[in-house]
Amino acid sequence: MFKSVVLFFAILLFLFGFGKIKESKFQTEDDAAILKKVYEKDFYIGAAINDKIITEKNKKALEVLKREFNTISPENVMKWEALHPSPDTYNFDMADKYVALGKKNNMHVIGHTLLWHSQIGPWMNSVQDSATMANYIKEHITTVTNRYSGKIDGWDVVNEALNEDGSLRESVFFKVMGERYLEFAFKVAEKADPSAELYYNDYNMWKPKKREGAIRLIENLQKSGTKINGVGMQGHWGLTEPSLEDVENSIVAYSKLGLKVAITELDITVLPNPFKLEGAEISQNFENNEKMNPYPDALPDSVEVQLANRYRDIFELFLKHSDKIDRVTFWGVNDQSSWLNNWPIKNRTNYPLLFDRKFEAKKAYHAVTQLKTDSIKQQ
């Protein structure tokens, strides 16, 4: 009798739709909780990886990387200083391992970065002749991009060439070659590997003055016939700044130039920052104290909720403009490996990413994945 009653109510639920199973847009139920699966129709989801992941020594981080992400960027191993430490010396070992890891796991592989004023070959800072500088740049970019031709999907060709007011930074390249170094670098990269996409990458690209400067930079490249496929907006942001409106205005403005937009270095600091801190300029360092390191042991639940809500709002904006955004890359896999533990103040405990120090998903992770699954259910 009991079984008959249960069956009767089960049939009623099915007929009235309460028990109806909607057709899943994921291949399996588990896919609904995996970042790269959740957003596979919207944009790539990536992470910047360090030496321990590249060499596969950090097994847990590698496991999370392979499960959750489908594009990678190198934190340091492809920067000039690491790759090309002296005029006649190249160290390709770690970069080779990085590219091999990405290809083995069918990932979209990004090269970061060909030309940057920081972490450069030290001899470059003493070059004063324009022709010599151009030869060094050409030799470096050509050697590196030729080696990885067909293996690197996209290059950050020039990194952080702008000041906060939108003017060109007086880097060693600018001082010696003037503004033409930008066009020169992009054209050398295109010639060395025509198949790779080429990007300009910078922080604080949401600020109106810096956005105007970036647009001028890009338009000048385009007018000269220089190939540029996209712009990277570094996402080193906070719990309240930048405003979503400023981020949105920038995404739209860069897209109108005919470029792909990438969010290239996403992390959300939950710690107070020193006064006068400017973006992500790594030369800035400040002293530590208890006020600047308020959560040394654990993140309060109220702040973790705030972080989750912030990430949800940001990804809601990204989804709104998914036709313009090509990829979203977090700057690190988990909180432990984040550079924000040591910048702009050393030895702090920060919590800026979606996975905690034990590689467990945080509230922010669930907020980001749930946002997408909720939108799918409503379709």
Catalytic residues: 160, 265
- Name the H helices within 202-323: 208-223, 244-255, 301-320
d(CA 365, CA 34): 10
Q: What are phi and psi of 240, to 5 degrees?
A: -125, -20
Under a CB-based contact definition with an 8 Å cutoff, are residues 335 and 353 in contact?
yes
Q: Report strand pairing: 154-159 vs 108-116.
A: parallel
The Cα angle at residue 329 between residues 108 and 266, in degrees rounded to 5 = 170
d(CA 70, CA 102): 9
Query: Is 257 exposed, middle or buried (CB count within 10 Å of its CB: 0-12, 13-18, 19+)?
Result: middle
d(CA 108, CA 260): 15
d(CA 286, CA 10): 64
DSSP 248: H
Closest CA to 254 of 203, 219, 209, 204: 219
Q: At what angle do helices 180-192 and 130-147 cross, to 10 degrees?
A: 30
DSSP 109: E
What does 8-41 look like in DSSP terms, one character per residue? HHHHHHHHTTTTPPPPPSSSSGGGGG-HHHHTTT
Beta bridge partners of 138: none
The percent helix, strand, coil of the chain (3-state, each to 5) is 45, 15, 40
